[in-house]
Every structure is written in C-alpha cells, then in structure tokens.
Structure 1
C-alpha cells in the first residue's frame, strides 16, 4: 500500500520549516503512527533530526542530482512501509537552479511531479495583512503546485493572529496552524546549519516540547487528512553510486557524520558490507576491508584530537599502501598535510595528499556540482559523471602537486575547473556525491 504524503515548505529559508516539521513528526509518532520523513535537496543535518523524531532513517529526495527514475524509486520505497510521509522542503518553495523544468532541485519539483499537497509555513513576524498577498502569490505562481494549507508561525499576539487570519480568510486556503513566537523552541546553529542531533543531550526533551506545541497549535487531524498518496510507480531503482568495495571501512563519529542514507543503502543492496570505525577513538580502518571512505563532517572542531590519533593515521597510511582510500569534504581535509582550525592553530593531518586547508580563512563554497572523473576512483570509472554538491567554509591554503580528481561544473553547467587530488590509492575532494550523473 502507498502511504499518503505531504510537503512542508515556506516562502524562504528561516521561516520555521524544520521546527514545524519536527513538531509534526514527533506528535504523529506519539499518536502511534508509523511516520516516515524525507528532505528535499542536499542536506545532511536535518535528516538526523527527522530520524530522532520518527525512529527511522530519513531520506533525501533531490530532483537535480538524482535520475528521475531513481527518485521515483526512492519515494516509492519510503511510502511502502509507513502510515504517512512528511517531506521537509529546502529554501523557499520555488527556489532552484532553473536549468531544466522539473529538475531544478526546488521543492516545487517534488510537489508537481508527485501531485503532493503543500503545507506552507508563513513567518508572520513583521507583517499582518500583507501575509495574504504573499499567500495569494504563492498559490497562483505555478498551477502544478497545490498549496493545500497554511501554518502561521511566530505570531506576536492574539490580535496579530486575528489580523493575519482575517486577511487570509478571503482566500480558499485553510489555516491549519497558528504558532506563537517562542525563542525557547529554536534549535542552536553553527556554520553548516543546525548543531547536529547527536550533540544534543536534551534532544528527546526538545522534541517532546515541540510535540506539545504541535498538539496545542496545529490541527493535526486536518493535516493528516491533507496528505495524499503520491503519483509514483513502483519502478526498480538503480544504485546511486556503485559500491567502492565489497567491505567498506566507513569513518563514523562526531568528526565524520555526513553520509547520505540512500548511498549506504545502495551499497548494501549491491552486497557490500559496511564496517564503521572511529578516527576520534584512534581506530584505524579494519584490515579485513578492501576500501576506506572518510565522509564529511566537522573535522575542524576536532583537529587536535585527529592530529593526536597516531594509530588512526598510521593505520590509514598502511591501508592506503594497498587499497583505495577516499575522502569527501571533511574527509578530504583530513587526508591533507595540515588543517588550520578557527583559532589559527595548524594541526598535522594524515599527509596522504599534498594539500592543506584552513578554517581560519573562511569562505563559503555552496552549490550543486557535476563532476567528470579524470581517473578510476571510489566514485566511479574514468570519464564517469557524478552529481552532488559543495557546502563548506574551509579554504585551500596549499594546493600541493597531486593530479586533480575531477573536472567540475556548477548546477547550470558553468565550468569551474578541476577539483580534488589523487595520489596512488588515495583520492579526495570537497565534492559530496549524491548520485551518478
């Protein structure tokens, strides 16, 4: 049976999508529903909060990076074993790269392709009747996208709520939630977004408070009734990325957390075994493995501990002498000669590639990327194309002299030169892979 689904979106980032999503997920689970969450677009952090709220792994649905047949298959999988699916949008509802209709990476692509209702979260702070004009514009912008209900967020008073609601009342758009301004429910952030779920010792209490808020201020029954089964066929899915080996040593701890569930699930579906290890606990990749993968995360917050992890670094070097090692973003930083932390202190890293990086010299690198591989590596064969993204503040302060790993272009096809490096069995890049191109 295909479970009903809905999308939680907003006119812009920062309007409260994640707060409303987590409140809804936790409240519905508390009511006994088997709730499945998903996240539109590339994001590692929000899905970990989804998983904490639902008790099951969230999944990313990306209309730009994923082949549409693969996207269909992913959505079919998550609707096949749940009572309701809640998809959290990315940025503003219609925000994408605008290159190919239906494949812009915008939340609206999912709403249109699968004919899913959208619950629009409106940040009402700083406005009253003007909110109605905003809603009218979003409702009429794309006839293939259906705004089925509204949640008014950050209301200052009952009078504020009445002014906004009265103005919207003339529109055929039900208000299914009215949430007062409450800074105590906000989740703390850092440079890549929210502080990771695993770092909150009080996360269960925070989620319970959000569920209580949902019970008080959201019409949960009406929101559940809003959901409808997506128009998606049970097409077979291919693997997002071929497994880089059949027994993969995967770094997993507070410094290495950014792994897309659909990638790992795809590896397992192809028969690969995942063997986690912790560099922060000074563990080396297990000798029984045939490949090592260092994912992204926050190595800049743990640079001193990683520099002191002599068993990890020696074991990684020994592993790399005979078997492939690949690093993504944070993992790439750790494979280099050194990492300068935010205070300007340089820490020696694995020294398996020639570059060095700095978090003290911060510059935002953000956007979709399409890579063409210049040699065989963990991401695929030479000449193969991979779609993904970059999201980091670290800068290269030493480029080294390793040959580049790939040529890259941005989401609109503009060439950006080469990226990453390769030396022997070791490869790395700031690029996060989502799926084969």
Structure 2
C-alpha cells in the first residue's frame, strides 16, 4: 500500500497559532483541488472536528504513547486516496512523556520521525528579531534523526521586522516558507478545556475561508507541497481498530457530550455496530440499545438544562435498570448524584452512581492514564489494561461506590480518580483511547 506524502505542522509551544495555520493550509490546499488527509498528534479531543470542517475529510488522532504501532499503521490507511497528509502537532514539538532519549514518548517529533513526515515549525516571532533563528535552529538540530523542512513565521509586526528575522534564518541555514502579519482576528475562541468546539463556533466556515485566504497570501504553498515526504509508518502490520462494546450503542452527542475519539467510532462502525446518537440537551431519552455511552464534553456549562431534562433522565434510569451504561469524564459526572457549577449551584444528576463533583472547586487534572480494570466495562473484562487521557477541572467531593480500576499516570504514579461502578453502571474520568498492547 502506498500512502501519500505528508508534513507535520508543529511549534515550540502551545498558543503559537499552529491550529489556525493548520486550518488555513487544509482549506487552501483543498481549494487548489487536493484531497488533504488531516491527522492530530496526541490525545486532543477538539481539533479533529475543526480539521474535518476545513478539509472535508475525517481527522484522526495518532498517539504513539496510547496506541500500538499496528493501530497507528491502521489509522494511517485513512489517507488512502488523498494527495497529501497534514498532521497537526500537540503542545511543543518535543513535548511528551519523559523518557531517557531525545524528545518525549508520545511527542509530535516521535510521530513525525516514525511516519517520515518533515516538520514545519510555526514560530511566534513577537518581541524578537534575529533571535528567532536561534530558537528555530535549536529545534532543527535537537534531534538529528528528525526531518526538518522549515519555518512559518507568525505574528510578524512589520516589513522591517520580517526582513530582520529572515536575515537571521538565512544565517542559520533555515528555510522560511511563509511570514504571517500580526492579526488579532486569527485567534480562535477558547474556554477552559481549549478551543470552543467546532459545532459552537458562530461562523466557522467564514473563519476557515478567511484563514485560507490569509495563508495563501503569505505562505509558499507550492514549496510546502514539494517538501512533503512519503509516509512510511514503520513495519508494523495494521491491527483492527477498537472493537465495539455492544451491537447497538446509544451515544449522547451534543454541545454537552462531544468528546468521542474519531478512531473509536470508526472501529465500532467498521465492526458492524450501530451507533445511535441522541441529545440530552434536547431532552431526548436514549434510543433502544444494548448500551448507553455518555462521552465527555461540557456538562458543567449546561448542568441546569441537564438536571431539568426529565425525559432524558427517566430514559437513562430505565435503561440502567436492565442494561449497561458507561460514562467518560463529563458523562461520568452526569451519572453521579450531583454536579456543582462555577457559580456554586448544586444540580441533581442521574443518581446512578454516588459521585458528587464540583466545577466551582477547580483543579486541573491532566495527563495520560493507564488503567487496569478490577470490574468489567462494556467490551472489556476484569484485568484488562486500558490506555487513555484525562483532562478536566472538576473536583470529586464524594465517591462512595466501588472503584472500577487501578489507575496510574504515564510515570506509574497512582491516580486517585479510579472510576466507579454500581450495578450496570460504570464511569471513568479518563477518555478511553485503546487497549494496552504491552
């Protein structure tokens, strides 16, 4: 199988503008008649939906910490039929789980090296001139095994500013593929878990079209295409995507329940499962199914509406009386006894678990999770090891039910958020990515 050439769009850190650059490039290249396959490095829940809106093709997470090489090889096949791959990095290029070698396990650099994708570094040059070249040169030379294609300068203040930066880059032997003038309207709206979701953006199509026009005017698209290298995802044989936890799955899907990894849904559907979406915010009860799955999202922003959704709550409780229900992160909180919002108002939830959480008492919980189940989860037997990711600000006030798993972080340190189980109902604060292959 021959896969199309690709590039990794990365940066020295979060907040440098790489997502807007990524979206502009995806749309500009698509406007030129190319089929562009997007990917996202790492466990980000939100960016793939923006990629899909810009490219017109589903985007998938590729995670070298949470996924076995065979799963990454299988997901790389999503690029079949495309002309070009663009993968967006997460955080800084070398950021990942600490390991003894260069870079971090799970880093964008590790994925780019494994796939053979040259790196385009999006560099925020605000407040510096020739010194920007020193930063870029460090990234270019930090890992000599990593192909480095060049830089796109972002937030350039003036033609003089650009000339000084280009001078430094030329002296360092680094290629400048574009220089983006500073524009305040290029920043996507954010909230506490990152970007506002694609479905909630007030005029996403106009925004992406604007990004594309801006990138077309200031980036050498032909040079960028010429620098792309053939994808070579190692020698691992593609393995099946995650199997479905049931045949008919009622999946909550709206602004409060939206964080479902695309590769999970692709795996479920490929194996013949029927995924039945419904909206708790619209007070829809779960459709008749073998399993109700409540994914993460932003229930803390909609707690009043969820508490008042009588048809949803009654249908959820009726299903749980005889069939399994599973919740992840926000979905887990909704299965609990109560959720306190940012204003300190406690809202009653489904009461299928004893969990009580508070978004008013905020503390960041972030990182990879390795869980060994002590009880079954739909689709997985006790003793199974699962890899996932946790990202939320809510605090547990009470968790009286039996633990679901022994959970640790990527360094092996125990994590207090063990998940819960009661009868047919289970929940975790981590979002499942894949079964552990170790």
Q: Give TM class, smaller chain.
A: over 0.9
Q: CA deviation at 1:172?
A: 2.8
2:372 is paired with a residue whose SS is strand
* Cα distance change on mapping 1:418 and 1:341 into 2, 3 Å: closer
Counterpart of 1:309?
309
> Is the aligned partner of 1:424 residue 2:423?
yes
Distance in 1 of aligned mates of 2:39 and 2:283: 33
Counterpart of 1:388?
388
Contact 1:121 1:151 in 2 (8 A): yes
Q: Normalized against structure 1, the TM-score is what?
A: 0.97
**CA distances 1:365-396 after superposition (whole Å, capped 9, x unpaired):** 00011000111112511000000110000111
Count residues in correspondence. Answer: 434
> Is the aligned partner of 1:254 residue 2:242?
no
Counterpart of 1:407?
406
Contact 1:119 1:147 in 2 (8 A): yes
> Is the aligned partner of 1:176 residue 2:177?
yes
2:244 is paired with a residue whose SS is coil
Counterpart of 1:193?
194
Q: CA deviation at 1:31?
A: 1.2
Q: CA deviation at 1:418?
A: 5.4
Contact 1:406 1:418 in 2 (8 A): no
2:94 is paired with a residue whose SS is coil
**Match runs of 1:253-402 below 5 Å:** 253-287=254-288, 289-378=289-378, 380-399=380-399, 401-402=400-401
Distance in 2 of aligned mates of 1:389 and 1:35: 27
Q: CA deviation at 1:242?
A: 3.0
Q: Normalized against structure 2, the TM-score is what?
A: 0.96
Q: Please tell me the root mean square deviation across aligned C-alpha atoms, in Å.
A: 1.4
Distance in 2 of aligned mates of 1:272 and 1:104: 33
Contact 2:253 2:279 in 1 (8 A): yes
**Match runs of 1:26-37 below 5 Å:** 26-37=27-38
Contact 2:95 2:104 in 1 (8 A): no
**CA distances 1:167-198 after superposition (whole Å, capped 9, x unpaired):** 11023321000001101111110000011111
> Is the aligned partner of 1:144 residue 2:126?
no
**CA distances 1:25-59 after superposition (whole Å, capped 9, x unpaired):** 11111111111111000011111110110112110
Counterpart of 1:9?
10
Counterpart of 1:18?
19
Q: CA deviation at 1:113?
A: 1.1
**CA distances 1:111-145 after superposition (whole Å, capped 9, x unpaired):** 11122100011110011111111111111111111
* Cα distance change on mapping 1:114 and 1:391 into 2, 3 Å: same
Counterpart of 2:208?
207
Contact 1:150 1:175 in 2 (8 A): yes
Q: CA deviation at 1:64?
A: 0.2
Counterpart of 2:47?
46
Q: CA deviation at 1:81?
A: 2.2
Counterpart of 1:86?
86
Contact 1:176 1:218 in 2 (8 A): yes
1:96 is paired with a residue whose SS is coil
**Match runs of 1:44-123 below 5 Å:** 44-75=45-76, 77-99=77-99, 104-123=105-124
Contact 1:370 1:385 in 2 (8 A): yes
Contact 2:116 2:233 in 1 (8 A): no
Distance in 1 of aligned mates of 2:401 and 2:136: 52
**CA distances 1:334-381 after superposition (whole Å, capped 9, x unpaired):** 000111111111111110000111111111000011000111112511
1:280 is paired with a residue whose SS is coil
* Structure 2 gaps, min length 5: none
Contact 1:64 1:103 in 2 (8 A): no
